[in-house]
Amino acid sequence: MTRNGSASRSLTLDAIVLGAGAAGLFYAAQAGAGGLRTLVLDHSAKPAEKVRISGGGRCNFTNIHTTAQNFISGNPHFAKSALARYTPWDFVALMERHGLSWHEKTLGQLFCDQKSSAVIQLLLDEVAAGAGDVRLSAPIADIGHADGRFTVRYEGGAATAPRLVVATGGLSIPKIGATGLAYDIARRFGHTVIKPEPALVPFTFEGAEKAAFAGLSGVSAPVRARAGEGVFDEALLFTHRGLSGPAMLQVSSYWHEGEPVEIDLFAGADGSAQLRALKAGHPAKGLGTALTQVFPRRLAEYIAESGLAPAFPRLADASHAELDAAAERLSRWSVTPSGTEGWRTAEVTRGGVDTAGLSSKTLESRHVPGLHFIGECVDVTGWLGGYNFQWAWASAHAAAMAEP
């Protein structure tokens, strides 16, 4: 690996890759194994920073339940071809060849037993095995395209190749190097870009709700959450700013400004039956106290005190019809976020390079032969749980398998 490419000569290669993240490095590894000479350029000083910070430092590198249904895209079928040709088990086999072990945490999410940095080293070793070169701290100055060849001038040098693979990711977490370069390149070469928006991101609230949720900060409960077409059974977490936890991150990818998020506090279970059972078992208790059997104490108190459900000072005095109505309210608790925490904390970007302009088989531009877009910059956004890395691996593999 070379920092700040020492030479200023122009290199002649088979493929220039922009972005030394998950997708860019994996493309160079796969293309290199196929005999292509590659150069990976990145403006950051360190490669694959998002791999490093992923999965709480243990990289949730794939999900064994991956199908195209776990992705949001203008074309729900687009990801199928790439995902079918590079599966989660292919990456697991690669990890094992490198002596890395893994475990399933929950819901098919595979985490590395070693630190995330071991996955970055795997990627760099694979690139090196294919004789690929990675240049860091190498901001891109200019991209030219003439006579079927791309010429990239970057700090420290220039390179030319018949293939340009854009893998500079989305806009989330600008602090660690995210930029909109992929979208700029896409537009310049005649592609449509679906509006990039923060996804897998906590919700924020204003006013009374903000104050109430801040009071519950740290409380977590399993729920069924719904926004638009997204429905997820996962944990809800109250925070100082609003609502987070896997359930909220997941539905945030389906949420649009001004829309409500619906929360079933019984997580799909029969709330009426639960409240009737509480009445039978604790007739002298009020709802807030009795609900501590079902929910964390602070949440149970909030439900009764905020009027989310009637307080019922003695459950014995509540009719079954009243309990059914309370259960209905708790299973359809509707909140309207004022916004999200935005790019600062969003794990991914929804939207991106429109799949209509790309081949689903090779991720190659339909307008410009030799131009590929892979990874998160494409309008394919995975759920929380290892799906986004699986898309990075699979889309990179598909592009690397393209015929010259």
Task: Please give the residue ranges that form the binding site for ligand FAD (CB under 6 A).
Answer: 18-24, 42-44, 49-50, 53-55, 59-60, 139-140, 167-169, 172-173, 177-179, 181, 347-348, 375-376, 386-389, 392
Q: Tokens for 209?
A: 């709700």
Residue 391 C-beta: closest distance to ligand FAD, Å: 7
CB of 22 to ligand FAD, least distance (A): 4
One-letter-per-residue 3-state SS of 321-362? HHHHHHHHHHHCEEECCCEECHHHCCCEEEEEECHHHECCCC
* CB of 50 or CB of 279, closer to ligand FAD: 50
Cβ at position 64, least distance to ligand FAD in Å: 13
Instruction: Output b/e per residue, 103-141; b: 16+ Cβ within 10 A.
Output: eeeebbbbbbebebebbbbbbbebbeebebbbbbbbebe
> What are the respective helix, strand and coil percentages of the chain, to the nearest 5?
35, 25, 40
* Residue at shortest CB range from ligand FAD: 21
Tell me the two tokens of residue 373. 């877009």
Closest separation between CB of residue 50 and ligand FAD, Å? 3
**Residue listed under structure tokens 């493309």:** 27
CA distance 288 to 379: 45
CB of 252 vs ligand FAD, minimal distance in Å: 13
CA proximity to 205, closest of 304, 349, 334, 347: 334
CA separation for the pair 402, 271 (Å, rounded)? 53
Quote the tokens at residue 58: 């243990």
Helices then strands, each counted (H, E), the chain: 13, 24
Token code pair at residue 294: 């079902």
Q: Which amino acid is residue 103, in one-letter code?
A: H
Q: What angle do CA 5, 18, 358 make, to 5 degrees?
A: 160
Three-state secondary structure readout of 125-182: HHHHHCCCEEEECCCEEEEEEECCEEEEEECCEEEEECEEEECCCCCCCHHHCCCCHH
Pairing status of strand 333-335 against strand 261-264: antiparallel
Shortest Cβ 12–ligand FAD spacing (Å): 21
d(CA 357, CA 367): 7
Least distance (Å) from ligand FAD to the CB of residue 342? Answer: 13
CB of 179 to ligand FAD, least distance (A): 4
Nearer Cβ to ligand FAD (312/391) = 391
Q: How far is the CB of 109 from ligand FAD (least distance, A)?
A: 8
Closest contact distance (angstroms) between CB of 212 and ligand FAD is: 27
Distance CA 333, CA 293 (A): 19
